[in-house]
Structure 1
Amino acid sequence: MNVVRTSRGPRLMSTPPHAPARTQTPAVMPGADREDPPARTGGPPIRSAPPSTVNVQRHVASPAQIARLRRVAAGEEEADLVVRGGLVMVVHDQSVPDQSVLERDILIVGRHIAAVTRPGALGGRRSLDAEGRYVLPAYVDAGLRIEDTLLSPGELARLLVPRGTGTLLIDPTALVAFGGPAGARFATESTTPLRVLARTGQAAPPTSGDPRTVTELAARGHLDHEVHHAVARGATPWEAIRQVTLRPARRHAVDHILGSLAPTRLADLQVVTNLASPAPPDVVVLGGRIAAEAGRPLFDNLDPAPTWALGRIRLPETLYAGSFPCPVPDPAGSAAVSIESGGSGSSSRPGLRIVRLAPTARGGRPVADPSRDLQKIAVIGGPPEAVTVDVGLVRGCGLVRGALGFTTAQAPGQLIVIGTSDDDLLTAARAVEGMGGGFVVVDQGWVRAACPLPVLGLMSEAPWEAVLGELAAVDAAAADLGCRLAQPLRTLAGFGCLLHTHP
């Protein structure tokens, strides 16, 4: 096929039927199957790490597929798709610096790359014009926890794929802790183009220490932001792109299918006009199919929320406003959790410390006192037959009235409420239970704003655009009640049960 350019980008057209297949031997990309050079001269060769990722085998080309890849590479058959004339980035090594970017065609058969050849050497039924633009491997993220984004895997795909991310290597610990093996399957069996593999063994550190909820991902970007930021700090584009493509793939022993543009690898690539630009890729191809164009996904999220993952938050039927008494303090005073400022900058995370203080008391028991920035906190959790309610004091939140309620991934199934009155604590707890989990802001018995997270109490089933608006609403409502934390509900949920200490 040929390509027609439109206002929305490249479109595929049929290749004339008389176009002959070439039999020229494909060019081999330099370093395409080499390991990195050893760290020390004379040191042992670097070998792949032991397999640490499951569900990989289904993405490896079968013998029949490999046979067809070979026929296409030999010019005996046409490719399904040819990415024509792009400046292909070689991420394997830089032993020949001038050849880290080569003008090449990429021939794709089904989900895999058949050959990387000189322009025009071989034909295909469809083609994508990449002339004058760079062709990079799709990004591989080994540091993202899906539940931290607050999105279902299908909605996360709609947000990340247009930014060039093709694969997540996830730590499923929290999902398995609350959902069992089905929790991991929920993350890895999305029907969207985003590939999610469950990672085992030692967790890999994320590429950034900043939180990556839907808010940050939508505003700043994902690994595309990391590449842009690394180049701004002085890294070469080759180094920055390698760090989020081949490096994580090799670390988790999946570089035989991911992380580079070479024969038999999955056809996961992106076409960009400028290297390390903050703009989204022009085109993203995943598994041999065009998945996104000009920052827009070309697929819908049709994944249903699994019924077993809904309604997992359960409170005792006997819970009432009198269920939140603080323990009687000892003569030395009460212990309270103090939320300390994280410093300057919106991404600075506050810290926690334990302080002892003389609480405001009523009837011999500590009570919330907004005039002293003292709020009551209740941590509600445990198995359905033995739910516990632990109550204490917290300061540094800033609430002058009302209550905040939220579920937390640090202890899946746990519900936490912070507030200035027991009635509002109860209203917040019941509201979160009714949503199946999430964030809620309550004032004088009324729910002022909410962000439901009904999937395991950790993720939304709504479109990511709607979740973004709901989070903005709960942040604004919390600020109206005096809360002075940046992104208060997500910040507090990130601390989990560390927010409570026995008075």
Structure 2
Amino acid sequence: METVTSLRERINVLSHKDPADVIIKNGRIVNVFTAEIIEADIAIKNGYIAGIGEFHKAEKVIDAKGHYIVPGFIDAHVHVESAMVPPSEMARVLLPNGVTTIVTDPHEIANVAGAAGIDYMLEEAKGSPLDMFVMLPSSVPATPFENNGATLDAESLRALYNRENVIGLAEVMDFPSVASGAKDILQKIIDAKTHGGRIDGHGAGLTRENLNNYLAAGIRTDHESTTAEEALDRVRAGMFVMLREGTVARDLLATLPAVNEKNSHRFCFCTDDKLIPDLVSEGSINYNVKLAIQNGVSPIMAIQMATINAAACHNLLYLGAVAAGYQADLLFLEELETVKITKVMKRGEVVVADGERFEAAFPKKTTTFTSPEIRHSLKVSDLRLKLLSDHVRVIGMLPNSLFTEKLEVKLDRVDGEFVPDSARDLAKMVVVERHKGTGNVGLGIVSGFGLTRGAFATSVAHDSHNIVAVGMNDSDIELAVKALTEARGGIVVVADGKVEEILPLRIAGLLSDQPFEEVARCLKSLEKAFGTISSAKGFDPFLTLSFLTLPVIPEYKLTDQGLFDFEAFSFVPLEITE
């Protein structure tokens, strides 16, 4: 926390009255304001940069040995819950990858546990070397087309703006409510403006004409562009555009051609949803930067997008630059082109060197959280899918995409029921409402997972996080749901009446209480187990499944209330009778 004393001490460093805490010498500083490389000392005091120039008095001197010094990377939009670990564990993954700040939307845990879930995330992040800024969830529930665990209306959110590190309103997904002027969403937007916060958009599938509704309401960002044309439409309309590269939504290469020297200041990077194994093997925003450089973006421009642009997007005035008055979040790079990180400093302290964390900088957390009970009474008989016609609508899963295809299929019924068919890649999909005990069970048909036997299921099902399962027979589907219920949530693979592998997610059915290394190991085991029941490859089946329940993303999705058609923005029957 900045004080008059700490500010005075920083100024005194400039007049050489007080020594700096740290002086970095022999570094090549990347100036993100002018795209220049400057050779000068960096003086740090009380976690902030006191000045750039020539300094001699310091408690500690670090020789940068000619390495480049760049600001810490910022993830402009991420759901921590998608990594399935709490914020303190997320920090242990992200800092070695040069990510020193994230802007997160905790709407996953909020949809399960409401304001208590948001409070847990904020409390769990305290004391971590990772700065976590929170955008309050705008869509809890996300839509009226599914049942979730909590409701956060405008009045409920208003008091949360007083929480430390809450900086705005998160992705507004319910575009029809904005376009129709629905009172509650407009009040949420007004409240965010009143508290000086930014407002994030969620413009999946929106045309440039649709964007007018967002801009008129004051929504200024979007991370849902999947083509360069969409990205340019948003920049031309006055938005900041976050180029996304996550586990499923890998849109960076398709959207990157929109970036040029004249408009690059309106682009930044995000991961949105990325699993621990991918964060470990690929990286986070450092991976986005590397991909951009490999595909024609100049290294300094890519670094600007990962730093000062992201800070400007969220009005984080003291982050994103190596300059006086900015927080001393610094990366040492051996080369700009390869983004090889040799040292990470957070608030003036070295927390990672040569890829190794200084564990003392990552305190173990013991934040407690009482997860809501999983409530349902599913029986095998609830899984029978009676059809009035053999001409049906099928969800066409698209690997490495949040979108799905609308498929129409002629199938053979058995005693009037749908029976999964591995030869035609047709599996049964089930969504079991788990929050309120409504008894709702959504039934559908999905293609693309390549299942040959068994079933798999997860309690991570965006955004209401009911239990979703896909399988080739009802008994294995029922066993998968039962196993998750007993584990208080998680991910499971079942085959031939046996649980092959399970990852318990005991915190709201979304987060593990184990170290990220154990989560990564278990996810690898789950992936191997999935390979024994499926012939499909080249995508993450668990995260892909978790998005097949999100009705605000085109085209067909399944909720606990039935099959949803994004284009019609309504439920449709499985059978095609015309």
TM-score normalised per structure 2: 0.69
The residue aligned with 2:493 is 441
From 25, 33, 43, give the equivalent of 1:107: 43
The answer to whether the 8 Å contact 2:28/2:39 transfers is: yes
Give, in whole Å, the separation in 2 of the partners of 1:341 and 1:414: 21
The residue aligned with 2:104 is 170
The answer to whether the 8 Å contact 1:338/1:353 transfers is: yes
**Displacement after TM superposition at 1:403 (Å):** 1.1
The residue aligned with 2:298 is 236
The residue aligned with 1:207 is 243
1:83 and 2:83 matched: no
Give, in whole Å, the separation in 1 of the partners of 2:451 and 2:315: 49
Cα distance, 1:93–1:162 mapped onto 2, change above 3 Å: same
Residue 200 of structure 2 aligns to a residue whose secondary structure is coil
The answer to whether the 8 Å contact 1:360/1:368 transfers is: no
The residue aligned with 1:339 is 396
Match for 2:290: what amino acid?
A: H
Give, in whole Å, the separation in 2 of the partners of 1:401 and 1:337: 19
Match for 1:423: what amino acid?
A: S
Residue 482 of structure 1 aligns to a residue whose secondary structure is coil
Match for 2:332: what amino acid?
A: V
From 284, 296, 301, give the equivalent of 1:222: 284
Give, in whole Å, the separation in 2 of the partners of 1:93 and 1:185: 40
Residue 386 of structure 1 aligns to a residue whose secondary structure is coil
Match for 1:208: what amino acid?
A: R
The answer to whether the 8 Å contact 1:231/1:240 transfers is: yes
Match for 1:207: what amino acid?
A: L
The residue aligned with 1:284 is 344
The residue aligned with 1:361 is 414
The residue aligned with 1:152 is 86
Cα distance, 1:376–1:305 mapped onto 2, change above 3 Å: farther
TM-score normalised per structure 1: 0.79
1:397 and 2:449 matched: yes
The answer to whether the 8 Å contact 2:378/2:439 transfers is: no
Give, in whole Å, the separation in 2 of the partners of 1:274 and 1:422: 55
Residue 126 of structure 1 aligns to a residue whose secondary structure is strand
Give, in whole Å, the separation in 2 of the partners of 1:487 and 1:184: 27
The residue aligned with 1:16 is none
**Displacement after TM superposition at 1:416 (Å):** 0.9
**Displacement after TM superposition at 1:443 (Å):** 1.2
Residue 288 of structure 2 aligns to a residue whose secondary structure is helix
The answer to whether the 8 Å contact 2:276/2:516 transfers is: yes
From 347, 357, 370, give the equivalent of 1:297: 357
From 371, 374, 378, give the equivalent of 1:314: 374
Residue 432 of structure 2 aligns to a residue whose secondary structure is strand
Cα distance, 1:421–1:217 mapped onto 2, change above 3 Å: same
Give, in whole Å, the separation in 2 of the partners of 1:106 and 1:182: 42
The residue aligned with 1:270 is 331
**Displacement after TM superposition at 1:313 (Å):** 5.4
The answer to whether the 8 Å contact 1:377/1:392 transfers is: yes
Give, in whole Å, the separation in 1 of the partners of 2:473 and 2:297: 53
The answer to whether the 8 Å contact 2:396/2:407 transfers is: no
**Displacement after TM superposition at 1:449 (Å):** 1.1
Give, in whole Å, the separation in 1 of the partners of 2:3 and 2:114: 31
The answer to whether the 8 Å contact 2:460/2:510 transfers is: yes
Match for 1:63: what amino acid?
A: V
The residue aligned with 1:480 is 532
Size of the aligned set, in residue pairs, is 425
Greater Rg by CA:
1
Residue 82 of structure 1 aligns to a residue whose secondary structure is strand
The residue aligned with 1:489 is 542
CA-to-aligned-CA distance 1:359-381 (integer Å, 9 cap, x gap): 4223x333334454332222111
The residue aligned with 2:68 is 134
Residue 198 of structure 1 aligns to a residue whose secondary structure is strand
**Displacement after TM superposition at 1:228 (Å):** 1.9
The answer to whether the 8 Å contact 1:370/1:400 transfers is: yes
Give, in whole Å, the separation in 2 of the partners of 1:63 and 1:69: 10
The residue aligned with 1:52 is none
1:258 and 2:319 matched: yes
Cα distance, 1:374–1:240 mapped onto 2, change above 3 Å: closer
Give, in whole Å, the separation in 1 of the partners of 2:435 and 2:286: 42
**Displacement after TM superposition at 1:178 (Å):** 2.4
Give, in whole Å, the separation in 2 of the partners of 1:313 and 1:335: 35
Match for 2:390: what amino acid?
A: G
The residue aligned with 1:72 is 13
> Structure 1: which 5+ runs fail to align?
1-57, 95-99
**Displacement after TM superposition at 1:270 (Å):** 1.2
The answer to whether the 8 Å contact 1:412/1:457 transfers is: no
Give, in whole Å, the separation in 1 of the partners of 2:524 and 2:373: 24
Residue 108 of structure 2 aligns to a residue whose secondary structure is helix
Name the stretch that deviates more: 124-133 or 245-254: 124-133
Give, in whole Å, the separation in 2 of the partners of 1:415 and 1:402: 17
Give, in whole Å, the separation in 2 of the partners of 1:419 and 1:226: 35
The answer to whether the 8 Å contact 2:458/2:492 transfers is: yes
The residue aligned with 1:13 is none
